[in-house]
Amino acid sequence: MLVSAKEMLDKAKAGHYGVGQFNINNLEWTKAILLTAQEMNSPAILGVSAGAGKYMCGFKTVAAMVKAMDADLGITVPIALHLDHGTYEASKECVAAGFTSIMFDGSSYDIAENIEKTKELVKLAHDNGMSIEAEVGAIGGEEDGVVGMGECADPDECKQIADLGIDMLAAGIGNIHGVYPENWAGLQFDVLEKIQEKTGTMPLVLHGGTGIPDEQVKRAITLGVSKINVNTECQLVFTAATREYIEAGKDKVGKGFDPRKVLAPGVQAIQDKVKEKILLFGSDGKA
């Protein structure tokens, strides 16, 4: 059932658990996540980055595929179709395309411009029955080979953005996208505590879910994180399982070359990973 992310995240915040945002790349990815959420009786958020959206032919194609798949598979758990790190333009495009949730990432603007643009998009999203995520403090990660460490958000700026009526807030607390470097300092819980104090009931979002030790994820949830984004980890397990299939020569046995067979181990690996994360975040049985 496609819905805005608001209700599932407000419930998660009140119930002290997290909802996973799992990014999608294609039909197999989407099917794997939908079926696992249904099996676990868990809400879930399908994240779509601009790059993945373009790869899948555009946001309209993505929205049409997800809506039809949700119906064809008879999915009854709450599922949000969410733009990940959207620009101002992409946010508007996804509203028109029929997403149920958007993230406007205005973290590269100064705070005044971030506030101005976020405010405008809050109205647009809410007028269309959609939820909206905003960001304060850059989330680091690899960009053109340079790994940024992630800038911690200013708790006062978080409050200013939260007060605009957004539904969830991504605030940098030392988290980065992709695999964490050896010398990563870990999540900055003192910053998270201050953000939580200032923003109260606002569901907080932890980006860069790949590779954060389970104990840190659990602690972040107790300190107000209600949405955890996972992308790279599903890509890693999908690719490893596919490599294993090919390296074992299984594509050369019988009709092992059939794409449905070639992709099956990778899909299973995504399902296992999503299941593991749903259990870690505590959203199983919470649909």
Active site residues: 84
Q: Please count the residues of this chain forming the interface with ligand 13P, following the rule CB under 6 A.
A: 15
Q: Does 53 bind ligand 13P (CB under 6 A)?
A: no
Identity of the residue, 26 or 76, whose beta carbon is nearer to ligand 13P in the bound complex: 26
Burial class (CB in 10 A: 0-12, 13-18, 19+), 129: exposed
Q: Which residue has the tokens 């939260």?
A: 162
Question: How far is it, in rounded angstroms, from Cα 227 to Cα 176?
Answer: 15
Q: Does 84 bind ligand 13P (CB under 6 A)?
A: yes
DSSP assignments along 124-179, one per residue? HHHHTT-EEEEEES--BEEETTEEE--PPPPHHHHHHHHTTT-SEEEE-SS-BSSS
Q: x/- binding map, residues 112-141, to ligand 13P, per CB under 6 A?
A: ------------------------------
Q: Does 82 bind ligand 13P (CB under 6 A)?
A: no
Identity of the residue, 48 or 245, whose beta carbon is nearer to ligand 13P in the bound complex: 48
Q: Does 229 bind ligand 13P (CB under 6 A)?
A: yes
Q: Which residue has the tokens 């181990």?
A: 265
Q: Given candidates 107, 232, 271, 283, which one binds ligand 13P under the rule CB under 6 A?
A: 232
Q: Does 233 bind ligand 13P (CB under 6 A)?
A: yes
For residue 254, the minimal CB distance to ligand 13P (Å) is 36
Q: Are the C-beta atoms of 155 and 224 separated by less than 8 Å?
A: no
Identity of the residue, 150 or 155, whose beta carbon is nearer to ligand 13P in the bound complex: 150
Stretch that binds ligand 13P, among 1-9, 122-130, 146-154, 205-213 (CB under 6 A): 205-213
For residue 234, the minimal CB distance to ligand 13P (Å) is 8
For residue 222, the minimal CB distance to ligand 13P (Å) is 20
| Nearest in space to 24 (alpha carbons), one of 54, 50, 46 | 46
Question: How far is it, in rounded angstroms, from Cα 79 to Cα 7?
Answer: 11
For residue 103, the minimal CB distance to ligand 13P (Å) is 8
19-21-27-33 Cα dihedral, nearest 10 degrees: -30
Provide CB contacts within 8 A for 61, sequence distance 6+.
Answer: none
Identity of the residue, 27 or 179, whose beta carbon is nearer to ligand 13P in the bound complex: 179
Grouping H, G, I as helix, E, B as strand and the rest as coil, residue 235 is helix
For residue 93, how many other CB atoms are within 10 A of its CB? Answer: 19
Q: Does 172 bind ligand 13P (CB under 6 A)?
A: no
Return residues touching ligand 13P (CB under 6 A): 23, 47, 84-85, 177-178, 207-210, 229-233
